[in-house]
Amino acid sequence: MIVELTSGPDIAAAKNLIKRNGLSFEEGFDELFGIHESDELVAVGARAGNILKMLIVEPSHQGGPLLGEMATALVSRGLDAGFESLFIYTKPEYVRTFEALNFTLLANQGRAALLEYGNGLRNWLAAKRSLVRTGMNGAVVMNCNPFTKGHLYLAESAARQVDNLYLFVVREDRSLFPFDVRFRLVQEGVRNISNVILLDTSRYIVSGATFPTYFLKQDDPVARIQMELDITLFSSRIAPFFGITRRFVGTEPNCKLTNSYNDTMKRLLPDYAIELVEIERKEALSGVISASRVRELMARNELAQLDDYVPASTLAFLASEAAEPIRRQLQFDMRR
């Protein structure tokens, strides 16, 4: 029978089983499940949000019902928790095993593979079919936390170099500015660029599933694997659907992780006949424009200076009543 593992000895046994089978035990899960046989732990699996991980069946017990039982529990719990889609990272040699459980392969990077339960990606793309344009198309992916003159400059420069520019706003809600605000400010900011097609990244580009470490801003071997998976998924599934042959980024002087994401694109995109175009960052009189600088100014309540960094549409929001909780949050964070 499947049980949730919560006691110290149970978790220690799970750690042992996971490590013995060549995976690393990662803290930070919502639930950890186990199956015992004759008082011995023979299968484990964990769920962290919409990601299933550390799914192991003891080799001597493989080939039976345990994997299906564990997968059923993890998927059911994930769906109960309200996630529309569930993802699993696994070793490439297990891709077939999970495909037999109706997972769909999203990307295989050589050392790790990312699969999704069900057909979320296909459904998402199908829903965007009316946005597909012929011609020479480019893409830019931006979080816009919040939308600055730098983002505007990047969008304008990119739009001039292609027939159509797909502007993907990161959907994942892990930034200070909530997604709907970020999206609306982009929409207002780019409305005079006629060949921009605005959409969001859903769960498939720089998301908590494809690239969770992005939001933690740590550059480590795990982050490297995730960014390669994220870029492989973009290049092999998303870009061909929209007919994208150029991806635009701004040069990144500050954030090491974003910089290494850009480098990885430079290395991988050509394999899929996509060109990476780097656009020099726009500078204001007082230095490079970045969203983090904007947040810093807001935290110090130096709203007058913002004019240099953000377009009028963003400025109007930042100074508005609606942005009061965000300003207060920033000022609070700075004082801590």
Partner 1 sequence: MNILKRGQAGTMQSSDLMVIVEPADKLIIEIESTVKKQFEHLIRARLEQVLDKFGVASGRISISDRGALDYAIEARLETALQRAGGA
What residue ranges bind partner 1 (CB under 8 A)?
65, 68-69, 71-72, 75-76, 79-80, 100-102, 117-119
Containing H/E element for 42?
Answer: strand 40-48
Residue with smaller CB distance to partner 1, 101 or 197: 101
Cβ-Cβ contacts under 8 Å for 12 (sequence gap 6 or more): none
DSSP annotation string for 230-284: HHHHIIIIIHHHHTEEEEEEE--SS-HHHHHHHHHHHHHGGGGT-EEEEEPPPEE
Q: Which amino acid is at 10?
A: D
- Nearest approach, Cβ of residue 300 and partner 1 (Å): 46
Q: Which is nearer to partner 1, 71 or 238 (CB)?
A: 71
Residue closer to partner 1 by CB (options 117, 183) is 117
Closest contact distance (angstroms) between CB of 273 and partner 1 is 30
The Cα 167–Cα 11 span in angstroms is 44
CA distances from 44 to 118, 214, 230, 237 (A): 22, 27, 27, 31
Q: Which one, 22 or 63, has the nearer CB to partner 1? A: 63
CB of 100 to partner 1, least distance (A): 6
Q: Angle CA(95)–CA(213)–CA(149) in degrees, nearest 5?
A: 125
Shortest approach of partner 1 to residue 128 CB, angstroms? 17
CB of 68 to partner 1, least distance (A): 4
Q: What is the DSSP letter of 170?
A: P
- Select 104 or 175, whichever has its Cβ closest to partner 1: 104
